């Protein structure tokens, strides 16, 4: 009987190994957002990171008078230049090729698109290799007389389907009198 007593713990251990085990759901390992970002970082020796926007072969520059008479209105133009040796194609979101705005103290106070109506059809803008294009607007006296005399920044942005595909256009300071 003493010998059975010694075997009992061994047999009990065997019984537990063969008994059905209640299945518990396996929890997948979840990586933190920081771990995912760290794993996705490019090798800095291979890739040059440029802010939020990719470098565009399309450049843009605003041309206008530095002083605008509020009673006469004003004209402005966005000059576009393809700096590459291939044709560029962009999808335009509506009949408005570019939107212009005036800001003062960081706040937009006027927007060209608010004064005008445009078709809502998509279109394509093609710019040949090393080609240029000019988008011009006339700001009406009716729009300018609503604004107080003073300094404003004129901004322009192409109305592209992919907002990051176009050029970064430097604002121009204008004085309303």
> Are the C-beta atoms of residues 135 and 102 closer than 8 Å to each other?
no
Residue 72 has which token pair? 């006469």
CA torsion through residues 61, 66, 67, 72, sign: negative
CA distance 28 to 176: 63
Domain 58-176, CATH class in plain words: mainly beta
Computed on alpha carbons and rounded to an integer, the radius of gyration of the chain in Å comes to 33
Q: What is the pLDDT along the chain (177 residues), one digit of tens a residue?
A: 555 445 545 555 544 444 454 555 555 454 444 444 444 444 343 333 334 455 789 999 999 999 999 999 999 999 999 999 999 999 888 778 889 999 999 999 999 888 776 667 788 889 999 999 999 999 999 999 999 999 999 999 998 888 788 899 999 999 999
Domain extents for the chain? 58-176
Instruction: Note the pLDDT of residue 25.
Output: 52
β pairing state of 172-176 and 67-68: parallel
Long-range contacts of 52-57 (CB under 8 A, 24+ apart): 52/164, 53/164, 53/168, 54/164, 54/165, 56/165, 56/166, 56/167, 56/168, 57/82, 57/83, 57/84, 57/88
Give every CB contact of residue 145 below 8 A, 6+ residues apart in sequence: 70, 71
Instruction: Note the pLDDT of residue 55.
Output: 79
Instruction: Note the pLDDT of residue 2.
Output: 55
Q: How much of the chain is in helix, strand and coil states, percent to nearest 5?
A: 20, 35, 45
CA distance 163 to 165: 6
Look up the pTM and report it.
0.66
Going by the DSSP 8-state scheme, the letter that residue 149 receives in this structure is S
HSE toward the beta carbon, residue 162, CA cutoff 13 A: 12
Instruction: Note the pLDDT of residue 162.
Output: 86
């Amino acid at each position: 009987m003493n010998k059975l007593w010694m075997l009992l713990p061994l047999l009990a251990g065997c019984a537990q190994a063969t008994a059905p085990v209640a299945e518990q759901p396996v929890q997948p390992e979840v990586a933190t957002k920081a771990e995912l970002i760290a794993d996705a970082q490019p090798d800095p020796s291979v890739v040059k990171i440029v802010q939020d926007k990719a470098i565009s072969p399309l450049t843009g520059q605003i041309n206008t008078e530095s002083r605008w008479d509020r009673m006469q209105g004003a004209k402005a133009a966005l000059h576009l230049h393809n700096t590459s040796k291939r044709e560029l194609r962009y999808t335009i979101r509506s009949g408005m090729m570019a939107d212009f705005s005036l800001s003062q103290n960081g706040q937009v106070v006027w927007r060209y698109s608010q004064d005008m109506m445009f078709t809502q059809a998509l279109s394509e803008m093609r710019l040949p290799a090393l080609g240029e294009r000019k988008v011009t607007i006339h700001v009406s006296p009716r729009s300018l007389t609503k604004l107080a005399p003073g300094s404003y920044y004129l901004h322009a942005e192409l109305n592209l389907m992919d907002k990051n595909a176009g050029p970064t256009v430097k604002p121009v300071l204008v004085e309303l009198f």
